[in-house]
Amino acid sequence: MARKTKSVDIAFRKHDHGRCQRQLLSEARQLCEARKLRLTSRRRQVLEILLASHQPMGAYDILAELNRANPAARIAPPIVYRALDFLMSEGLIHRIESRNAFISCVHPGHQCTAQFLICRDCEQVAELEGRDPALLVEADNLGFAVDHSVVEITGICAQCQKHAG
């Protein structure tokens, strides 16, 4: 029943985080299975780190987490970037261009246009369900074949405005 209402996403809202994480990980597994793709343990680790954080993380933050988890290993950047590339190509995570950061996707697999509200105070990010903006229609009218869109709105969320207030 929440389906059709305005879909602000779970950032900016309280939710059962552990449950949300497990849910999304399980969706990721299913999706990879359906597509005959390998959600290897490295890829899963990276996804889990992003799911746990539920906020944007830089590649090197993720790297640090990985190295904390595997103190023996000394993992290097390309490993992280490769896992991120895989996860992005399957729509399991998004890149936040205006922050050089990555965040887990809240609607894995939906090929919708992801749109983000980014609070520059608390650093939280809300992913909005992307109905195509008018812009995409216009692009189409111009004969421009869209293949990826980046929509990132920066500002201060309601919560932080109150606190500052």
Residue 6 Cβ vs DNA, minimum distance, rounded to whole Å: 31
The contact mask relative to DNA for 76-115 (x = CB under 7 A, - = no) is xxxx-xxx--x-------------x---------------
Q: Does 52 bind DNA (CB under 7 A)?
A: no
- Residue 152, binding choice from DNA, a second copy, none, Cβ under 5 to 8 Å by partner class: a second copy
Q: What is the distance between the alpha carbons of residues 6 and 34, in angstroms, rounded to a whole number?
A: 29
Q: What is the distance between the alpha carbons of residues 80 and 100, in angstroms, rounded to a whole number?
A: 14
The length of the chain in residues reads 165
Q: Which residues bind a second copy (CB under 8 A)?
A: 6, 8, 12, 97-98, 115, 117, 119-120, 126, 128, 131, 133-136, 138-139, 141-158, 161
Question: With respect to DNA, which residue has the nearer C-beta, 12 or 81?
Answer: 81
Is the distance from CB of 155 to CB of 117 less than 8 angstroms? yes
